[in-house]
Amino acid sequence: MADILSTVSAASALLEQAIGIIVRLRTANERDKDLKSVLESHNVVLENTKAIIELIKAEAALQTAAVGHFLTDVNVAMSNLVRLLKVLDPGDKSWLRRFIHQLVEGSKDEKALADGMQKLDRAKSDLGLCLQVASVGLKQTPDSGLAADAEMIKRISTLLEEVLGSGNGLKIAKLIQNRDGGNVPLSACDIELLNKEGEAGVGNYKYSTVQDEGKLGTSRIIVDNLTEDQARMINGSIGEDVWKEVAHLEIRGNTAKGESEMFNYGMDLDTYHKLQEEKRADQAAKRVDRERAHRMLLQQGGMGLGVMVVVWILVKLSF
């Protein structure tokens, strides 16, 4: 629970940063109606994401492990988006600096921003689907069965529809909507139906809405590891397969960045050494390409400086 709350707090902080920068960008680009319209649509997505996060923070019943997983995906998307927005943030930059940046980088920045917002929107949608199948209001009955708290489910489902849209409330609310209130007993068929909703999965992640305890053997769970640039992540053994007797293996939420590699299961030594050799050859080829590009950049440096001087003179003459 504490981990999910810390993830919620991180998401809230990132959203506040992003919304603040979007507001400044809209103000700085007041005359560009097309760009202003795009920024306003981005702000709608951010505000909606904020409303979802605030609902999770307010309702403990929604703070499940599965929700925590998808919330982490939202945070990854938000972190990347905020990093980009900080580059675009007009802040106290002069009009001239903003003009030159827009002239040189404008179209690339707009595409990167659109890509970042698309990734956030996808992560937000996945989180919304996960919330709809959350096991809200389930109680153990004296005969070891399950019952659904109709009042709690109806209340949270209504709140969920307010942030996700009409018809996007809790799946369990639809299941019990025509039954008597209070604690509604759930049959084996009800539980199976709820689990099928969860097992349909979101993206590559699947889970059970109602956990059936005691049927799994030894488990191994590897989650939320992070490597940075040039890093390699190996989530399995090299040589002997030490996981062959594991009944449940879960690897999720791990992130690898620039030129890194991620191995999510064991491999034999020959395969590992071959991959090492291929990586070294690839790095050598990229090093040659970088050196060639650097030489070309030095040769063209004088020409590029001349273009910037002309732009500066034109700006000065326009006043």
- Global pTM reads 0.60
User: What is the rounded CA–CA span in Å between residue 106 and residue 98?
Assistant: 10
Distances (CA, A) of 232 to 178, 225, 226, 261, 298: 53, 11, 10, 5, 33
Taking all residues of the chain, what is their mean pLDDT, rounded to a whole number? 74
120 and 187, same structural domain? no
Asked if 194 contacts 172 with a C-beta cutoff of 8 angstroms, the reply is yes
Place of tokens 């070891």: 144
User: What is the rounded CA–CA span in Å between residue 151 and residue 177?
Assistant: 11
Residue 231 included in any domain = yes
113 and 6, same structural domain? yes
Q: What is the pLDDT confidence band of residue 58, given thresholds at 50, 70 and 90? A: very high
For the chain, percent of residues with pLDDT exceeding 90: 21
Tokens of 201: 């999965």
Q: Running DSSP on this structure, what letter comes out for residue 240? A: S
Q: What is the pLDDT of residues 175-233, one digit of tens each?
A: 888 787 788 888 778 777 777 665 544 544 444 455 443 333 344 556 556 666 556 66
Residue 245 included in any domain = yes
Residue 209 included in any domain = no
241 and 256, same structural domain? yes
Residue 81 C-alpha from the chain's centroid? 10
Residue 43 C-alpha from the chain's centroid? 17
Domain extent, residue 170, equals 138-199
Residue 204 included in any domain = no
Tokens of 254: 């791990």
111 and 9, same structural domain? yes
Residue 205 included in any domain = no
Total structural domains within the chain: 4
Q: What is the pLDDT of residues 7-56, one digit of tens each?
A: 899 999 999 999 998 888 888 777 667 777 888 888 999 999 999 999 99
